[in-house]
Amino acid sequence: MSYEVKTEAFEGPLDLLLHLINRLEIDIYDIKMAEITSQYMEHIHAMRVLELNEASEYLVMAATLLSIKSKMLLPIHQDEEMEDDFDVQVNDPRDELVSRLIEYRKFKEAAHHLNEMEESRHLYYTRPPADLSGFQSNQQLALFELDVNVYDMLGAFQKMLRRKQLNAPLHTRVSKQDISIKTQMRNVISTLKKSGGKLSFYELFPSMDKMTIVITFLSLLELIKRQFVQVEQKSNFDELFVLLRKEDIDSEFDYEIDE
């Protein structure tokens, strides 16, 4: 039997096995090892383009299949069987593989549900919280100033990417230009300097161009890692702020980035 194989269609050896079981209409509780093994081998043969990393996983599974197949051909010795580790097998060499396949299948199905939820969530939109800083006194700012971790910031970035897509066709598009992270790090620093060392996270992303947004974000992460800047949030309801931590950084900055 010959057919086309799409490597990217499989999420690993277990996914491939489930596919074969489905296609060959095999009972998952009574897998015909000879048939599935030969089909599996045929597939991985056709999937030679695999990354080395993944290939090893497919090959380990191939070895497992062969070993199960050969075990099933052997006559069962009752005594040996008793001495086996219970975790591995009690009576059927296929048991472990079957339970792995069933466990994996559960999550594959769950992933499918998530995909459906993702699609229906794309049908409605929210908006960012309003900027209420005009209502806030300096005293309150000091009292409620709380740092946030990188995950909060990543979340904020993700939200921002969704937000920044809005309005795009109604504005003149930013012409595409290649900027490096290094350059953008300098830009962020000088933008921060110009605004007195503190700026709203979102104000660092005035551009609508996705590439620029991504580069700016990466440069921001780099600056945080190098402790040039710090991210803060006043409270639950407020915006993220980026603070400049090192004042006269130009020489150090150039040195560090250029290395």
Q: How many CA atoms lie within 13 A of 6 on its CB side?
A: 5
Using rule CB under 8 A, residue 130 touches other proteins: yes
Binding residue count for other proteins, defined by CB under 8 A: 83
In the chain the beta strands, taken as DSSP E runs, fall at 146-147, 198-200, 229-233, 240-244
Name the one range near other proteins by CB under 8 A: 33-41, 178-186, 231-239, 250-258: 231-239
Q: Please tell me whether residue 59 binds other proteins under the rule CB under 8 A.
A: no
| Cα–Cα distance measured from residue 206 to residue 213, given in angstroms and rounded to the nearest whole number | 8
Cβ-based burial of 25 (10 A; exposed 0-12, middle 13-18, buried ≥19): exposed
The yes or no reply on residue 197 touching other proteins (CB under 8 A) is: no
Residue closer to other proteins (CB basis): 107 or 255:
107
Burial of 45-54, coded b for 16+ CB within 10 Å and e otherwise, reads eebeeeeeee
User: Percentages helix, strand, coil for the chain, rounded to the nearest 5?
Assistant: 60, 5, 35
Q: What are phi and psi of 43, to 5 degrees?
A: -65, -50
**Complex with other proteins: residue 24 or 146, whichever CB lies closer:** 146
Residue 49 binds other proteins (CB under 8 A): no
Q: Which stretch binds other proteins (CB under 8 A): 36-44, 51-59, 195-203, 251-259?
A: 51-59
Determine the interface stretch with other proteins among 41-49, 136-144, 174-182, 186-194 (rule: CB under 8 A). 136-144
Nearer to other proteins, 104 or 258 (CB): 104
Question: Which range of residues in 35-43, 145-153, 198-206, 247-255 is near other proteins by CB under 8 A?
Answer: 145-153
